[in-house]
Structure 1
């Protein structure tokens, strides 16, 4: 099968990630070992979003001083897109598939990032989705709308699947996200015969358990990866940025489809993660998204390891 490729830049140049404390580092990724599992954080580039996409519903008089303190522009957001690759035994697993070539001009470099690791699309055995937004799902197709990962099996939460496959979703999701609904349904229909479903608490493969982190989308899932006493949580977009989501996790965000539920999810996650000092990989957290949550006198802070 021919696998056409779009090249924006080499993976190493696109990522430019620095050395990470406690990690084996390479120019284009960070790596964590948990027992016989090897997890690499690789880049799919970045997005450029208007600040109102997240900040719109927030109390502006309180928001602006916090953003100024954190060095974050209220006008423009440029979040990274961090994809997790896990290798264990004969399995090579992607958690989310990036955005492909049809969503954002600064994203879609996942193939280049995988090239740095010597991983080809046909090497991927499983793709597990946190949710079905474009920057997590649309990368399953190549530039000709053919499946990019010919050997992959797919997994998604049943609630998430049901939401995007519901023909009423396109009419109910709101004008700003109509393309999300159309694009998700079209792609999910193409992989319908290769997909398996899971629910909250299910062990989807040895050492990997799904955890409902609802609100960003109706069926958003995180994944706890555990080997012995070591663990790490792939949080997807349940904590969607490294600034205001940490400083004021209880505030509702315009990026979430159910802002009230998403805020409750963030507050609960922040409390647990800061207490347990659990490593996280966040899809849109700064750098390569790897670090942990620290509680302070005024909100929380994301402490990076990369």
Structure 2
């Protein structure tokens, strides 16, 4: 019998895949006794129109040139945050799994490189339920992959994706998102708990409503004393136009107006407070800071080591 994908990645296959290089590189941050690792689930290949369509093309063009971006194809990284503290091993989102995009679904290999097996994970916290954050719940056989984990998600995000009417109202382009989310969430219905904006969901981790990308999107502030890191998910979805022009609508957001308002407010706070950030689709390993510029903001990446 051929080995399953789980067996392959948990064993020697992970070491072989490491040969692919920076896809699997991870950054390590510490806050007191907490350790945060940023591990890769690979990358996506998206049509530029998915983000750029609603934006003013004449003003967009110099931004694309500045960041050496194609207007036709974007290849954002997928950076999953791993938190280890005391006896808890926590994932913020679980990546795409095997069924969404050919260059994603690499989380198991990255966890293996960080010394973590799927059965070691005690908690999984979702920013939102889009495929590249949720579909990694299941293995190739549609069985739950993280067998010892409990799950947490914002209550409004859960309600939206579990509503059977969502598939008919979300729009044709995202209908498969709704079907896939509801099927996967139903499989963990007995082991999931809910939280709301502002709640401390575990010691040192507080939920922050960052709505717009999805109806119930959450970011998370991880804090030890005066040190803090904000895990963004997709509320700030790229390192270029989201910083340069946060007020612009993005085609990737389900509620474009609400998402733009969230970006503007959050970037101002992050720049003012000089809070370190981890972004799921930010460049490099996703870690860095926000700086205010004369016309907007900029992402200052760091190596995270």
TM-score band w.r.t. shorter chain: over 0.9
Q: Tell me, in whole angstroms, the C-alpha distance in 2 between the residues paired with 1:293 and 1:214.
A: 19
Q: Residue 111 in 1 paired to residue 108 in 2?
A: yes
Q: Residue 234 in 1 paired to residue 253 in 2?
A: no
User: Contact between 1:214 and 1:238, CA under 8 Å: does it hold in 2?
Assistant: yes
Number of residue pairs matched?
296
Partner of 2:171: 174
- The offset of 1:66, in angstroms, is 1.6
- The offset of 1:93, in angstroms, is 0.2
Partner of 1:13: 19
- Please list, as runs of the form range in 1=range in 2, the aligned pairs for 1:146-165 lying within 5 A after superposition: 146-165=143-162
Q: Residue 266 in 1 paired to residue 263 in 2?
A: yes
Q: Secondary structure at the match of 2:6?
A: coil
Deviations 1:39-79 (A, max 9, x none): 00000000000000000000111111221122111111000
- The offset of 1:162, in angstroms, is 0.1
Q: Tell me, in whole angstroms, the C-alpha distance in 1 between the residues paired with 2:168 and 2:8.
A: 33
Q: Tell me, in whole angstroms, the C-alpha distance in 1 between the residues paired with 2:137 and 2:20.
A: 20
Q: Tell me, in whole angstroms, the C-alpha distance in 1 between the residues paired with 2:21 and 2:215.
A: 31
Deviations 1:19-52 (A, max 9, x none): xxxxxxxx72110010110000000000000000
Q: Residue 144 in 1 paired to residue 141 in 2?
A: yes
Pairing partner for 1:124 from 121, 124, 127: 121
Pairing partner for 1:289 from 275, 286, 296: 286
Partner of 1:79: 76
User: Contact between 2:247 and 2:261, CA under 8 Å: does it hold in 1?
Assistant: yes
Partner of 1:4: 6
User: Contact between 1:6 and 1:101, CA under 8 Å: does it hold in 2?
Assistant: no
User: Contact between 1:14 and 1:45, CA under 8 Å: does it hold in 2?
Assistant: no
User: Contact between 1:250 and 1:263, CA under 8 Å: does it hold in 2?
Assistant: yes
Q: Tell me, in whole angstroms, the C-alpha distance in 2 between the residues paired with 1:265 and 1:155.
A: 22
Partner of 1:275: 272
User: Contact between 1:83 and 1:94, CA under 8 Å: does it hold in 2?
Assistant: yes
Q: Secondary structure at the match of 1:53?
A: helix
Q: Tell me, in whole angstroms, the C-alpha distance in 2 between the residues paired with 1:155 and 1:15.
A: 32
User: Contact between 1:85 and 1:94, CA under 8 Å: does it hold in 2?
Assistant: yes
Q: Residue 301 in 1 paired to residue 298 in 2?
A: yes
TM-score (norm 1): 0.94
Q: Residue 68 in 1 paired to residue 65 in 2?
A: yes
Q: Please give the root-mean-square deviation of Cα atoms over the aligned residues, in Å.
A: 1.5
Q: Tell me, in whole angstroms, the C-alpha distance in 2 between the residues paired with 1:33 and 1:145.
A: 35
Partner of 1:207: 204
- Point out the structure with the larger helix share: 2
Q: Secondary structure at the match of 2:141?
A: coil
TM-score (norm 2): 0.94
- The offset of 1:80, in angstroms, is 0.1
- The offset of 1:13, in angstroms, is 3.5
Moved over 6 A (4+): none
Q: Tell me, in whole angstroms, the C-alpha distance in 2 between the residues paired with 1:195 and 1:250.
A: 34
- The offset of 1:298, in angstroms, is 2.4
Partner of 2:35: 38
Q: Secondary structure at the match of 2:180?
A: helix
